[in-house]
A and B are shown apart, each in its own frame.
Chain A
Amino acid sequence: MTASEPGRLGPAYTAPGSSSFSEFLGAHAPDLLPSRRSLPPHPVDAPHGTTIVTLTYADGLVMAGDRRATMGNLIANRDMEKVFAADEFSVLGIAGTAGLAIELVKLFQVELEHYEKIEGTLMSLEGKANRLATMIRGNLGMAMQGLSVVPVFGGFDLDTAIGRIFSYDVTGGCYEEHDHHCIGSGSLFARGSLKKLWRPGLDAGAATAVAIEALYDAADDDSATGGPDITRRIWPTVAVVDSEGVRFTDDDAIAGIVEGVLAGRRGNPGGAR
């Protein structure tokens, strides 16, 4: 009625019913939604994020990512973060077109917090996984132009008190994974490594070491995955989720683990056991 009144919070703000931020954006500022953008006519060359590994352990879940973004044969960024806290009890790692992926992460973070503030309660872990699937589905057109975004989502399920992992495909398909999962260009090598190193009932420290070793194996064989950068002291990002929430392992602790992995590989580059 009075939507033209300047400065007033208009009908989209006061419309009852929805606790979704992306639905609000769709009604009020659709140009801010990644899925409403016009498609580029030709495939576009843009920075690409690479490998993320994630695995469950006794009390939760560990997710780790290398720091490299590539564009063709070049390194576009050597200290990019690709593992993010989605909210207090969940994390997501991204591979694919970095710009779109980071926009998706930002929208997803606001989506979860928005829901939490309006509803006064946390969304269930499946609910979060499904919201993310909807957002990826909206990006299918971009994916057809070579701008795909494929995240991996993990969190601590407060109802069953375990860490759970969800993987996605470009069409928004959402699949629950068991024990461990990897995405990105180095994922084949990281997966091989995780298959040999993961075992049930690891503790957080051991699980972090397994994740870092899997990233090392990915970087060993995949040029787009960044290994530990000792001269610049750039280490993988490692997030740990348990009943107390998301924590990012600090750089000094990771440096110690990385040095342990490197020492183990001296004279034994394949890590034979």
Chain B
Amino acid sequence: MSQMPFYVSPEQLMKDRADFARKGIARGRSVVVLGYDHGIAFVAENPSRALHKVSEIYDRIGFAAVGKYNEFENLRVAGIRYADLRGYSYDRSDVTARGLANAYAQTLGTVFTQESKPYEVEIVVAEVGSAEQQDQIYRLTYDGSVTDVYGFVAMGGGADGIEAGLKERWTPGMPLADALALAVDLLAVDPAGGERRALGPTSLEVAVLDRNRPRRKFRRIAGDLLAALLSPGDPTRDALQEETHGGRRDAGDGATHPEATGESPRHTATNPQTQRHPEETRGGDGD
């Protein structure tokens, strides 16, 4: 550990670090996370098909980030490891966005105060519930502070302008197509005051946590479906409409017939061997 050559007040030190992190974050394109009638949508301006800003963490939990790719990718992988370890050693239902947000907050906070350079990232951890009231969205900044936001959040370069737009125009229970149109409209504004950018499906990364899906709620939306959702004249309003086949794909499908067996009714979820979950046997409505 090197000695500080001159005295720098703690206030100044923290301010310098915060300014440094903020500058790094402001350079990147923005990400919008907003609720819609069947879940939570993530919309990022990201022309890359391979380097994601939005990702699945666990059954009901999604992740979005802006800033330095290697740093938030590191946090994303750590979050997946945290969630999978917790779900493996306890139960899948014991993995929560709140727990993950706390772990991220501790990590970002420690890095901010103790390492030579803070992470230049801002992340959102979102968990979809069985109804809109149970949806949770946490926003974490470079210094480890957490805020629990309701309905929508924007991060990155033009975040302030986008949040102002969302505050004005976002309403709870919007259909997915409207929510995406709103997010794309706000993302297209140049924060520096230049011309509006044209954002088509190829320059967007879109994903949803859809509460009507079976166990894994996260789903990426791209290609024709995204184009259909974004075009105002198209009747496609929600991501689930084109998914007609097959029903549930995850482990567990057949409900038992306790009334027919004469044995005491035993919920499949109480039998740890089956690894079936109540929401799946009840048809994916969640709890």
Contacts and interface: CB of A to CB of B under 8 A. Distances in A.
Interface of A: 1-2, 5-9, 12-14, 16, 21, 24-25, 28-29, 32, 77, 79-81, 84-85, 88, 98, 102, 105-107, 109-110, 113-114, 117-118, 120, 231-234, 237, 244-251, 254
Contacts of B81: 9, 12-13, 21, 24, 28, 114
Interface in B203-220: none
Nearest to A84: B251
Given A7-B106, A102-B273, A114-B84, A2 B254 contact: no
Given A25-B85, A117-B56, 17 more contacts: A2-B110, A8-B106, A9-B75, A14-B74, A21-B88, A29-B85, A79-B256, A85-B250, A113-B84, A117-B55, A233-B260, A244-B245, A245-B246, A247-B247, A247-B253, A248-B254, A251-B256
B250 to A, nearest CB: 6
B222 interface: no
Given A29-B89, A232-B263, A80 B253 contact: no
B80 interface: yes
Contacts of A6: 106
Nearest to A107: B88
B89 to A, nearest CB: 6
- Interface range for B: 35 or more
Nearest to A234: B261
Given A118-B77, A250-B254, A80 B273 contact: yes
B190 to A, nearest CB: 30
A153 to B, nearest CB: 15
Contacts of B55: 117, 120
B197 interface: no
A24 B106 contact: no
Nearest to B59: A113
A106 B252 CA distance: 14
Contact of B257 (A16, A80, A251): A251
Interface string B254-266: 1111001111000
